[in-house]
């Protein structure tokens, strides 16, 4: 399983045009990502503004990603919800559409306790044959999947890994010891990925890879090959971009950067708005530093 989900996996932005999903641009964006070396794709994550999509749009974007990828790289469909029944519906659709796995975030806003988290993920996993990758991001969901609960969840056969965005580096080592070396650990924080990879993770579900897919892929290759000096050089080159893409509410800065590269229009859905002028200047400088301006 770890051989399938590794390396640089962009959490894809969703292009919009005049209020609707721009599917032609999205499919071209998927092609570019694969050509640049991305080793997987995540449609309908937070970076994809999934919270603003209708169910029909959500399903259509996942289907479009699977069709455009055409089996060249795995598609990990964003399937999270704070409503267990809705998350179950998402994973069933993703499986039917041909996704390779599902990314399922901790229920946000509700603030379930650890038993509630366990039962939520267990119910989702039991509703599908897809591999499930948990998404632990307390900064957005408020709740944290504790290492003890993570261990329990890892014992469910098709819960195969986690996107860890806790910001706690030692979690990677703790989860390796409690969940086993084959439990897939993917960084959810671009700026921390070097340390996370050195701690035994398998890759990164990345915002920066939207904008600099080749550099992120090359960084991941250096990490997997334990060329740590090369990996550090990539980190130094990419770090300002990692920071710059969160200098305003995401994915505003990423869409600004991609509009500069001619990949899509800088259009977001409320309540998200384009990056402010200060953020744009930071992104401009970061792109120049990375050599992609």
Q: What are phi and psi of 210, to 5 degrees?
A: -60, -40
Is 200 in contact with 173 (CB distance < 8 Å)?
yes
Is 115 in contact with 146 (CB distance < 8 Å)?
no
Q: What is the DSSP secondary structure assignment for residue 82, as one 8-state letter?
A: S
54, 167, 206, 276, 286 from 292: Cα distances, Å: 34, 27, 17, 21, 9
Is 34 in contact with 72 (CB distance < 8 Å)?
yes
Q: Which two tokens stand for residue 53?
A: 């999509």
- Residues tagged active-site: 135, 163
Q: Which two tokens stand for residue 287?
A: 């792109």
Is 15 in contact with 264 (CB distance < 8 Å)?
yes
The residues that bridge with 94 in the sheet, in sequence order, are none
């Amino acid at each position: 399983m770890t051989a399938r989900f590794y390396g640089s996996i962009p959490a894809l932005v969703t292009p919009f045009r005049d209020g609707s999903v721009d599917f032609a641009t999205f499919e071209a964006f998927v092609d570019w990502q694969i050509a640049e070396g991305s080793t997987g794709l995540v449609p309908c994550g937070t970076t994809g503004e999934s919270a603003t999509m209708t169910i029909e749009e959500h399903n259509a974007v996942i289907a479009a990603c699977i069709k455009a990828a055409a089996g060249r790289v795995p598609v990990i469909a964003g399937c999270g919800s704070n409503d267990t029944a809705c998350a179950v519906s998402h994973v069933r659709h993703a499986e039917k559409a041909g996704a390779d796995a599902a990314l399922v975030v901790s229920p946000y806003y509700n603030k379930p306790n650890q038993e509630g988290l366990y039962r939520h993920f267990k119910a989702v996993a039991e509703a599908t044959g897809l591999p499930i990758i948990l998404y632990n991001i307390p900064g957005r969901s408020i709740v944290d999947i504790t290492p003890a609960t993570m261990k329990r969840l890892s014992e469910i056969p098709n819960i195969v890994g986690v996107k860890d965005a806790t910001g706690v580096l030692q979690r990677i080592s703790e989860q390796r010891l409690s969940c086993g070396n084959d439990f897939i650990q993917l960084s959810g924080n671009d700026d921390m990925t070097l340390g996370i990879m050195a701690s035994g993770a398998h890759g990164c579900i990345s915002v920066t890879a939207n904008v600099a897919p080749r550099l992120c892929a090359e960084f991941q290759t250096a990490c997997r090959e334990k060329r740590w000096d090369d990996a550090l050089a990539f980190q130094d080159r990419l770090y300002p971009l990692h920071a710059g893409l969160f200098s305003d509410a995401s994915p505003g800065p990423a869409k600004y950067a991609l509009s500069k590269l001619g990949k899509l229009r800088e259009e977001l859905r409320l309540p998200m708005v384009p990056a402010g002028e200060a953020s744009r200047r930071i992104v401009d400088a970061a792109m120049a530093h990375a050599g992609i301006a």
